Amino acid sequence: MKKSILLLLVLVMGASLYAQQEQGRVGINTTSPKATLDIGKEGVDDAKGLLVPRLTADEVKTMTDTNKVGEDQNSLLLYVTQPFAEAKNKTGKYELIEQAGYYYYDAKYNGGMWVPIFGNRKNIYEITEETYLLPEHNNSFLYVKSDENINLHVLGDDLHKLPLGFNCVIVQEGKGQVFIIGDRLNIKTARGYKTRTQYSAIGVIIDKPNSFTITGDAVN
């Protein structure tokens, strides 16, 4: 028994020395890690990949509310398995947790928020009243249903600023035209600032920190 414990200690110490020799690099299934963490495949008989922590939205909230997530955890990654059981919890730091998927913690955004990694998935939203674009509208379609004209604001203040590369398509589904309003931002457009008629579509692209572009079937 003592020999087994001694052997285990030797192996652990050897692993520690190896990590020091590699200047902080850790290798899994490889003896020559090329980065801080380098994971090799070592065959294909078993499942290969990286499984990040999987939590429900309620578990994410519990973890964050107990001050376990803050500035030091900026960029923390996890997978949300299901949205909140009660809609009232989807607020503040958790406002963007809409559905299952990968999320990361952005400590610098709006005082700290869990932000989805959208990938190429497109969502569809229905707008019925005056509002402003949100980060969750990125890479999505917004159908505006109203018989009255509606203003859709693109905000430039620190609290509501949209990320660079943000883009969405806005469709006028009702009779009311959709007016794009830039608050503290410059607007670039070849045709205009509003939808032309029912079922016309325009796009909004955030290309610079202080400006955005309107594309598509827009008029003055």
Question: pLDDT per residue over 45-97, tens digit each?
Answer: 888 899 999 999 999 999 999 999 999 999 999 999 999 999 899 999 998 89
Same domain for 175 and 131: yes
Is 92 in contact with 57 (CB distance < 8 Å)?
A: no
Asked if residue 2 is part of any domain, the answer here is: no
Give the strand order in the sheet containing 131-132.
Answer: 131-132, 150-155, 178-183, 194-195, 218-219
- 3 state SS for 39-57: ECCCCCCCCCCCCCCEECH
Where is 11: in which H helix or E strand? helix 2-21
CATH label of the domain that carries residue 150: 2.60.120.640
Number of domains in the chain: 3
Same domain for 133 and 112: no
Q: Which domain holds residue 96?
A: 54-116
Question: pLDDT per residue over 142-182, tens digit each?
Answer: 999 999 999 999 998 877 788 889 999 999 999 999 999 99
Asked if residue 47 is part of any domain, the answer here is: no
Asked if residue 45 is part of any domain, the answer here is: no
Phi, psi at residue 215, to the nearest 5°? -120, 170
Separation of alpha carbons 153 and 172, rounded Å: 15
Domain boundary among 100, 116, 132: 116
Separation of alpha carbons 161 and 186, rounded Å: 13
